[in-house]
Amino acid sequence: MNDEIKLEELKILEETYRGAVPELKFNSVFELLVAVILSAQCTDKRVNQVTQVLFPIANTPEKILQLGQSELEKIIKPCGFFKTKSKHIIETSKILLENYGGEVPESFDELIKLPGVGRKTANVVTGVAFKNPAIAVDTHVFRLSNRMKLAEGKTPLEVETGLQKIIPREKWSDAHHWLIWHGRKICKARNPKCSDCPLKKICPASEKT
């Protein structure tokens, strides 16, 4: 598919989802980091329910460590993989206190070194919290990018690289949200609502479905 059609797809997505923001609820960079760690294999809605309980009592590295891993596990259990996630949050809190004065580093290279922080999490924090250009490839972004042929790839990194080439750098973070919301509302994994899609006249997948 040529770049002209890809740019038209992006234009329509921008017009449809302009101003879209993350569904995760947070009031600090650390809260966002914890929320994104919890969101792995879990819905943002469920994460918000859990953080409504967690953040009032532990929303800083110091308070997380005071809470302790066993209590943290009890609170975040509904998010799934709670033992691994609690371990990562505890370890990350220790590193932040020991190496960064309790603050979340802005550098992508430093973020990705933290336990439980992969490229997706680091990109979300980079783009949402620090307002630096970043494209986080979650399941929605990966699926839509391949389905719409915006950026085809077998791995999230291949898709991320492809999207960076077609999307203007200043719109990377916004485009991430356009794709996520389109994936949630219209272009679902199963039974996408192609008849209701604003892209149905140009999307290469609409003919197949």
Query: Could you give the residue numbers annotated as active site?
Result: 120, 138
Neighbours of 103 (CB within 10 A): 14
Residue 171 is given by DSSP the state G
3-state secondary structure 8-56: HHHHHHHHHHCCCCCCCCCCCHHHHHHHHHHCCCCCHHHHHHHHHHHCC
Identify whether the C-beta of residue 85 lies closer than 8 Å to the C-beta of residue 116. yes
State the DSSP H helix or E strand holding residue 141, giving kind and residue range, or none if neither. Answer: helix 139-147
State the DSSP H helix or E strand holding residue 68, giving kind and residue range, or none if neither. Answer: none
